[in-house]
Homo-oligomer: A and B are copies of this chain.
Amino acid sequence: MQLGLVGLGKMGDNMRARVKDAGHEVVGYDPRPEVSDVPDLAALVDALEAPRVVWLMVPHGEITRNSVTELAGLLSPGDVVIDGGNSRFSDDQPHADLLAENGIGYLDCGVSGGVWGRDNGYALMVGGSKDDVAKVMPIFDALRPEGPRENGFVHVGPVGAGHYAKMVHNGIEYGLMHAYAEGYELLDAEPLIEDVTGTLRAWTQGTVVRSWLLDLLVRALEEDPGLAEISDYTTDSGEGRWTVEEAIRHSVPANVISAALFARFASRQETSPALKAVSALRNQFGGHAMRDSSGASVGETSKH
């Protein structure tokens, strides 16, 4: 079948290749002419026969919203738009409503797999109607990992459910990564441990903690022993924040995921105003040793 694919960044480009490998035709659009098959969205729509399937793989927020709005004016009743980007799930119903005014279907699809999905397949979590899902199923089957459909594809529920599931997936990912990270630091801190990388490598078979993330951590350490080449400055891309926001909305205790998120925030601070306040307080009541902003020791130590 035909697929219109909007957004040919690292993810979109890999997905285009995987869909093509499965024997489908892909018409891709990207604002960079050198990678785009068509000059604009109108040309993309023209290049597809109805009923059309157009998959968005663009940054969430304004760019996704603009693309949906433009497509609402270009597409025809019976066509389907899929938002495969990392949109907040609360954006989905407004997008679906906008398209529904013109009889256009909408699916939200969480896509996991990273740069490895090109070869391994992408796990897909889809929200929307059964009819719309059925229209796109050949594409989903092309993208998902081989093997039983249910081990890499799920129709989670109505519009929004796919991105909600992807959000939670990424929230879990924050927690998993930080659990390994704390463990790594504890191995690194203990002189008895002569071979940190070897210890993690030995965990990749047979243990309770074996996982793909652990394989990647071993790979990273093999490439960069002691992680000497990288900074601890760690960004975050939305889903972790949204996960904690949803935990608040649902009154779900989320200590682990929020701790992982806050650690990333802290990693990006040159100095912590909070810890400055703690340090200032300690000096006020106890004359505890403080460092001034240059790092030199000021004040005197005492009990309190």
Contact = CB atoms under 8 A, between A and B. Distances in A.
A274 B178 contact: yes
Interface in A203-259: 203-214, 216-217, 219-221, 224, 227-235, 237, 241, 243-248, 250-259
A238 to B, nearest CB: 10
B233 A279 contact: yes
Contacts of A85: 303
A19 to B, nearest CB: 15
Contacts of A233: 275, 279, 290-291, 295
Nearest to A163: B192
Counted per complex, copies of this chain come to 4
A255 B169 CA distance: 20
Ranked 8 nearest A-B pairs via Cβ: A175-B179, A211-B211, A154-B202, A232-B275, A114-B304, A231-B291, A255-B259, A10-B302
Contact of A199 (B125, B208, B268, B286): B125
14 contacts: A11-B302, A115-B285, A116-B285, A120-B205, A123-B202, A176-B209, A179-B257, A184-B274, A213-B285, A227-B273, A230-B279, A230-B280, A235-B289, A253-B272
Contact of A277 (B57, B180, B208, B254): B180
Interface residues of A, number: 153
Contacts of A46: none
A168 B183 contact: yes
B169 A293 contact: no
A131 interface: no
A259 B261 contact: no
B156 A235 contact: no
B246 A248 contact: no
A210 B212 CA distance: 6
A161 B113 contact: no
Interface stretch (A20-28, A32-40, A69-77, A145-153): A145-153
A235 to B, nearest CB: 6
Contacts of A105: none
